[in-house]
Amino acid sequence: MKKILFSLLLIGAVALNSCTKTAESGCTPASVASEKAAMVAFCTANGITYTEHPSGILYEIIAPGVGAQPVSTSTVSAIYTGKLLNGTTFDATATPISFPLTNVIDGWKIGIPLIKVGGRIRMVIPSALGYSCVGTNGIRYPDGCQISIYFNTITKKQAILQGIGYKTCAQYPLLTCLS
């Protein structure tokens, strides 16, 4: 009886332990410092006169907007087009999309409050403040991919990425979001 009880406890412990493990992706998250040179080169090549946020985000406020700035609990709206740095569009909106700022990547939580209603901002966000080694909407990025996000002309304060299904790192070593 003791052997059966011990066996059941052992099986249960192994099962619970396996539930807490994540799949080995082979992806080592990049540090903000390791991506800075590529982010600066992107800004330089695209004529972006940026300011560096303490978080590592590079941004350019095109138009500050007017009125209130969003806070962490704000629901905000935006019209945007998402593109890879190579120019490939992966997402776009023709009309404003609204959602809580609490439901977006950390880079947006930091950058979007830098503008007010109607403001426009470009941001180059380090992957550590974006999706890092994890995908969106259940889609996992290929091993080793690090993603930085670039925003252009955020209107009505905010935007969100939607399903990205690219299959190779070469398609998005840095991810671009343009509006």
Task: Tell me the average confidence (pLDDT) per consecutive run of 10 residues in the chain, 179 residues long.
Answer: 44 36 57 85 86 93 82 77 52 70 86 84 80 54 39 35 34 32
Distances (CA, A) of 132 to 15, 79, 136, 158: 28, 24, 10, 20
Query: In this structure, is residue 50 part of a structural domain?
Result: yes
Cα 175 to chain center, whole Å?
9
- Count of domains for the chain: 1
Query: In this structure, is residue 60 part of a structural domain?
Result: yes
What is the distance between the alpha carbons of residues 153 and 158, in angstroms, rounded to a whole number? 10
Is pTM beyond 0.75? Reply is no
Count of other CB atoms within 10 angstroms of residue 37: 9
Query: In this structure, is residue 17 part of a structural domain?
Result: no
Query: In this structure, is residue 168 part of a structural domain?
Result: yes
Phi and psi for 152 in degrees, rounded to 5?
-140, 135
Query: In this structure, is residue 56 part of a structural domain?
Result: yes
pLDDT value for 69: 84
Query: In this structure, is residue 129 part of a structural domain?
Result: yes
Query: In this structure, is residue 45 part of a structural domain?
Result: yes
Give 35's DSSP letter: H
Phi and psi for 135 in degrees, rounded to 5?
-90, -165
Q: What is the CATH number of the domain that holds 115?
A: 3.10.50.40
Residue range(s) defining the domain that contains residue 33: 26-178
Query: In this structure, is residue 6 part of a structural domain?
Result: no
